[in-house]
Chains A and B, each alone.
Chain A
Amino acid sequence: MTSRFARFGNDLHTGERSIDFVGMRRYWLIIASLMMIVAVIIPIVKGGFNFGIEFRGGSQFQVSGVIDAEQSIATAAVESVVPDMVARVSIVGSEGVRVQTDQLTDDETKNVATALAVGYGVDESEVTHSFIGPTWGADVSRQAIQGLAVFLTLALLLMAFYFRTWKMSLAAILSLVHDLIITAGVYALTGFEVTPAALIGFLTILAFSLYDTVVVFDKIKENTAEEATLNRRTFAETVNLGVNQTLVRSINTGVVAVLPVGTILFVGAFVLGADTLRDISLALLIGIILGTYSTIFVGAPLYAWFRQGEPEIRKHDAVTLATRTAVSQG
């Protein structure tokens, strides 16, 4: 398998085997646009996101070390203190129960905690309680949006400077925006809870998606610089070669990045029930897969598309194609 994979890498490197990512750019870009449109429509149709308690505000209790995780016990415990309160009860991991209510007073909180401890037959120290004001989540998201704007601007400038072309920079940023919008769409579609931890994961997608794009673009830049004076490949073909040459790297990187994140997700969601871990890793998992995908199917095709109209490139491509026809005929 390794040798076959290595040979696959060799063939991609020499161009003996080539997957035409860039040549079919029109289709990939149409697919990307459609997916983004759907990702925007979903939350509108479904009426927004499933925001976590940090955004809604309210009180939350978490009971650990529960032997019989029966939801009705929690409902009864809350009602015994505040009769009309509707509690959202969920089972966390194998022996945890999470109860969310509207905001309770300090006294009510204490009493509910006691009632939960009695109901589930655990010590009171096993009951964790928290209260979150409705403005907290708004504060955090405002900062996240600020951070996003600042980061996008700086990254756009930095990359334009590094690659010496704003078109590459723009293509990278657009493929990042693609990742962010679709990740958000997945959250809206599946109804995964949007928590501050998910927001952290969401922001890390920024780092990963751009990172991945920079690595591939670096190779593309190297190839196009060398190819500019030759008439062997059209511009789009050169871009495509770069993508193919880094494909093995992209796959390996994607797998290596997904492995620990997937582990966090698995451990966080199914084994031990640590919400923060689950939320961060879920957003990241979606983001890493999308980030790897978008570099190849969105970033590189976009870059080729942005530059295909340039007179110099047109000329180069025309000469290349003419030479090629001449060679195959002669």
Chain B
Amino acid sequence: MAARPTPVKKAWRSLTWLLIIIAGLAAINAGGALWANGTWVPKLALDLEGGTQIILAPQLESGQTVTTDQLNQAVAIIRQRIDASGVSEAEINTQGQNVVVAIPGQEVDEETRNRVESSAKLEFRAVITSDSAAVSSMGETPSPSPSPTSEATDSPEGTPSPSSSASPEATPTPTPSNASDPAWVTPELQKEFDDFDCADLDSANANIAPADKPLITCEINGTLTDALPDYKYILGPVEVSGERIADATNGLVANSQGISTNQWGVNIVFDAEGAKEFGEVTTRLYGLTGPQHQFAIVLDGKVISAPTTNAIITDGKPQITGNFTQESSKTLADQLKFGALPIGFVVQSSETISATLGTSQLQSGLIAGILGLILVMVYTLFQYRALGFVTIASLVAAGVITYLVITVLSWREGYRLSLAGVAGLIVAIGFTADSFIIYFERVRDELRDGRLLVSAVEAGWKRALRTVYAAKGTNLLAAVVLYVVAVGNVRGFALTLGITTVIDVLIVVMFTHPMLQLLARTRFFGDGHPLSGLDPMAHGAVYRGAGEFRVRGDIKGKSAATSVREAARRQTIAERKAAEAAELTQSKGKKS
């Protein structure tokens, strides 16, 4: 058995490269763990680590879609809100149209939850009609007269009957000239306004009202200050939307001399476009009287404040003054600053997983994985004898690379291993082992055809590789499609499926095949030890002497039925043998 140097050299080269890849991955990992914020273990998803996950879905009118920009903006704002509440390590991502907030570790407190869950779509609308007076005023900084306007008078409530919609569809007959024009108020709208009960505000869908239509809504004061009643408004279309607010702070109001008064107010800073829009609005409102002098700040369809316009503000820095305490002014400033989501959101699912449950799920996954691995090992040893050790070593190599890749991904890309991901990894054990089975069966086929092990390995490999590529190709396709289309758990699963498929091919090419090439040259395997799993005798080949095996069928020549054309054609030994065998039985039958 003269060892051909090329395959052996190739084999060693492959194994060296594989080692370099593993060392490289380990080095990246080590670098991350030592000098950056990487770790040696992959980060775990909430279902394994415990924590809270809230999925927010956008509230859309039919036909409306969310743009990527709007989603990214929403994510940024929600992140600010969570950071402001002092929770670290929160992860906010988008999944399709949804925003997913994941807060690992302990359960979040009520306040953080509210911050996240309040969808907070902020709008500025002009007041057309109200059934009460204003409570605060809007002025320039420093406000020339920081006087709270007249105290609210009691407002007669309309007949309390529930209204199904706060956004009337009827378009007014005389086209309204501007957003404060009473022409917006059609008789239908007026009736709806009269019938509207502020107690039904939550069910009135005011938060998804169209921006270009008037809106009936309320200012609910009952829970904040007992002194003030609720107010009902008809508001004009949206004039300035919340995204235009660059900053909002609360502070003590200074008077015209720049001396601080004891009054709390909220300072808003608009961006350039917001300043322009707001300038136009205040210019118009300043000249109006009655409720139309007022201006409503609408958060999620509810009026949080409706100050009067005390000045024309063109610098984009209005100040809201009124009956504020330090606390209430802070709240309003926060709402203005953090509440400026481009679109309303509703909580679609909220899940809290205790750390204990997470740990036990991880344990289940690991136990299942280890047990599954052991069973696969036992079965391959049983089926393939010593060759089974090649499978086991290959699985171990694949496992090491998979672990390193996932850890690096978790560090660089923020990938978190979920229970579905763990399941994907365990399932991958079977898929990966199958590549070896395909290969080994092909090698056995070649042995059956009478080849020596060294050439059987090469011939079997050529055929097996094509099949492995094709089969793994479909697997990869499935993983990619699932990853692109799906969200959440499905995505994590698709990712592990894809990663393991690629690693699987890598291992078969760079580890399993080179190993077999080398092993084929050992006495144990090359001579076909009964325990090697590659025993030619067990595979129907016949020993011909002088270290060569011959197939039974080859001993006899072919009979008359064989045409010249056929003989010229390259026929596989398997088929020749099958034909011979068939003929042998036939002739045997004739003899008897």
Q: Enumerate chain A interface residues (CB-CB to B < 8 A).
A: 2-3, 5-7, 9-10, 13-16, 54, 62, 64-65, 96, 106, 125-133, 135-136, 139-140, 143-144, 146-147, 150-151, 154-155, 158-159, 162, 196-197, 199-200, 203-204, 206-208, 210-211, 214-215, 218-219, 222, 226-227, 229-230, 232, 241, 245-246, 248-249, 252-253, 255-264, 266-268, 271-274, 276-277, 280-281, 284, 288, 323, 327-328
Secondary structure call for the A interface:
helix
For residue A227, which residues in chain B have a CB less than 8 angstroms away from its CB? 575
User: Closest residue to A130 on the B side, CB-wise?
Assistant: B351
Please tell me the number of chain B residues within 8 Å of chain A, measured between CB atoms: 96
Q: Which of B83-91, B192-200, B361-369 contacts its partner? A: B361-369
Known contacts A249-B441, A328-B586; A14/B581 CB under 8 A: yes
Q: How far does the alpha carbon of A129 sit from the alpha carbon of B108 in the complex, in Å? A: 12
* Shortest distance between the CB of B364 and any CB in chain A (Å): 4
Using CB atoms and an 8 Å cutoff, list the residues of chain B in contact with chain A: 47, 55, 57, 96, 98, 107, 110, 113, 346-357, 360-361, 363-365, 367-369, 371-373, 375-376, 379-380, 382-383, 385, 419-420, 422-424, 426-427, 429-431, 433-434, 437-438, 441, 444-445, 448, 463, 466-467, 470-475, 477-479, 481-482, 484-490, 493, 497, 538-540, 561, 565-566, 569, 571-572, 574-575, 577-579, 581-582, 586
Complex CA distance for A257 and B472, rounded to whole angstroms: 15
Is B477 within 8 A of A151, CB to CB? yes
Q: Name 20 interchain pairs, CB-CB below 8 A, sorted by A.
A: A5-B383, A14-B574, A14-B578, A125-B356, A131-B349, A204-B497, A210-B474, A211-B474, A214-B471, A229-B565, A245-B445, A249-B438, A256-B380, A257-B431, A257-B434, A260-B375, A263-B426, A264-B372, A272-B360, A276-B419
Q: Are B572 and A226 in contact (CB under 8 A)?
A: yes
Residues of B within 8 A of A6 (CB): 444, 538-539
Q: Which chain B residues border A5 with CB–CB below 8 Å?
A: 383
When the two chains form their complex, are residues A15 and B490 in contact, meaning their CB atoms are under 8 A apart? no
For residue A54, which residues in chain B have a CB less than 8 angstroms away from its CB?
A: 349
Other than the given A130-B350, A200-B489, 18 more pairs (CB < 8 A) read: A96-B357, A125-B355, A126-B356, A130-B351, A133-B349, A144-B485, A147-B484, A154-B477, A159-B474, A196-B488, A197-B423, A200-B490, A211-B471, A229-B566, A276-B361, A277-B365, A280-B420, A280-B423
A54 vs B96: C-alpha distance when bound (angstroms): 17
The answer to whether A131 and B350 have CB atoms under 8 Å apart is yes
Instruction: Choose from A127, A200, A208 the contact partner of B493 (Cβ within 8 Å).
Output: A200
- A152 to chain B: closest residue by CB: B481
Partner pick for A276 among B420, B434, B467, B484, CB 8 A cutoff: B420
- Say what secondary structure dominates the interface of chain B: helix
Check if B490 sits within 8 Å of A144, measured CB to CB: yes
Cα(A200)–Cα(B490), bound, Å: 6
- Contact check, A128 vs B540: say whether CB atoms are below 8 A apart: no
A14-B578, A271-B367 known; A249 vs B489 contact (CB < 8 Å): no
Contact indicator B433/A256 (Cβ below 8 Å): yes
Partner of B427, one of A197, A219, A261, A276: A261
Smallest Cβ-Cβ distance to B365: which chain A residue: A277
A127 contact set on B, CB distance < 8 A? 354
Given A13-B448, A106-B113, A272-B364, are A143 and B487 neighbors across the interface (CB < 8 Å)? yes
**B351 and A131 form a contact (CB under 8 A):** yes
Cβ–Cβ < 8 Å partners of A144 in chain B: 485-486, 490
Residues of A within 8 A of B427 (CB): 204, 257, 260-261, 264, 280, 284
Q: Which residues of A contact B348 (CB under 8 A)?
A: 132-133, 135-136
Contact A327 B490 (CB under 8 A): no
> Contact: A128 with B561, CB < 8 Å?
no
Contact of B364 among A139, A154, A246, A268 (CB under 8 A): A268
Q: A261-B427, A277-B365 are in contact. Are A143 and B478 (CB under 8 A)?
A: no
Least distance between A130 CB and chain B CB atoms (Å): 3
Residues of chain A with a CB closer than 8 A to B433's CB: 256
Residues in chain B near residue A253, CB distance under 8 A:
430, 434, 437-438
Contact A10 B47 (CB under 8 A): no
Q: Say whether, besides A15-B581, A218-B470, A256-B430, A3 and B538 are in contact (CB < 8 Å).
A: yes
Q: A200-B493, A246-B441 are in contact. Are A274 and B349 (CB under 8 A)?
A: no
Say how far B114's CB is from chain A's closest CB, in angstroms. Answer: 9
Contacting pair A260 B357 (CB below 8 A): no
CB distance from B371 to the nearest CB of A (A): 4
Q: With the chains together, A106 CA to B108 CA distance in Å?
A: 13
